[in-house]
Amino acid sequence: MGKLVLAAKITHVPTMIMSEQDGPIKGKRQAAIDGHREIGRRAREAGADTFLVLDTHWLINNGYHINANDHYEGLLTSSEFPHFIRNMPYRYTGNPELGRRIAEQATADGVPTMSHSLDSLHLEYGTLVPMHFMNPEGDLKVVSVASLCTVHSVEASRKVGAAIRKAVEASDSNVALLASGSLSHKIWPNDIYDENNGTFTISSTFNEVVDRRVLEMWQAGEHDTFLKMLPEYARHCTGEGLMHDTMMLYGALGWDQYRGRAEVITEYFPSSGTGQTNVVFPV
């Protein structure tokens, strides 16, 4: 029987890739990189064989979708930030059987979900940035779940998360589940963005205050209260992907029955107006 061995909410900011390269960002995202590497280390220590990434950079307008090809390979240039991420090579093995199980379970639970094994369906950088640091040798399998959900409900995403847990436990896979997306996500408006300062600042004091309070709630185990405010938090603080990655994560953890106290691995930091962190949720 399979097992969910690790769960985390993680950043995927492109400046982490730039932090490894010569230029003005070099070394500036080392704390976030170190957090990813620590999560990767913990996943292996817990016996994970698969990273399941809830990717808020994969936009969908109908149903739920899983990228579970048997092999991924290519060069990534971000269509969103081609000056930030360009020609980044990747090569990973997939876990088609796990993707199929999740889709079947979610569909059986009333949420139409499809798993795809297509060479032309490429991974998004919400998956590839964390894999670059957590899975550099590609020794763990990778499955990506679309989580930029434009016409989807909180309840449906909760059910998909619960289906992920059921499918994992019915499989032969030990899974590290990663909700890949920011906290607040109000990027600086282009007309007033200052590359020298905007890259490292928050665009809204209100968003930062709420983000920091959310982290306190997670660490204190106040999950029931957080879930009650989650729809408004996602809306008013412009949560990335409307925070459907977080909804699925909590669905997999048991929703309002979850009692774990989260551990902040990377202290909260702003990036181009948004609020970022790496947080592990004990399973």
Residue 170: name the closest of 112, 251, 110, 102 by CA.
102
Q: What is the pLDDT of residues 30-50, one digit of tens each?
A: 999 999 999 999 999 999 999
Does the pLDDT value for residue 194 go beyond 80? no
Secondary structure (DSSP) of 66-119: EE--SEEEEEE--SS-TTTS-SEEEEEEB-HHHHHHHHHHHHHTT--EEEE--T
The topology under which CATH files domain 3-281 is Protocatechuate 4,5-dioxygenase; Chain B (3.40.830)
Distance of alpha carbon 145 from alpha carbon 165, whole angstroms: 13
Distance of alpha carbon 217 from alpha carbon 236, whole angstroms: 18
Distance of alpha carbon 36 from alpha carbon 55, whole angstroms: 15
pLDDT at 191: 82
Percent of the chain clearing pLDDT 70 (strictly above): 98
pTM, two decimal places: 0.97
Distance of alpha carbon 220 from alpha carbon 156, whole angstroms: 27
In the chain, what are the domain boundaries?
3-281
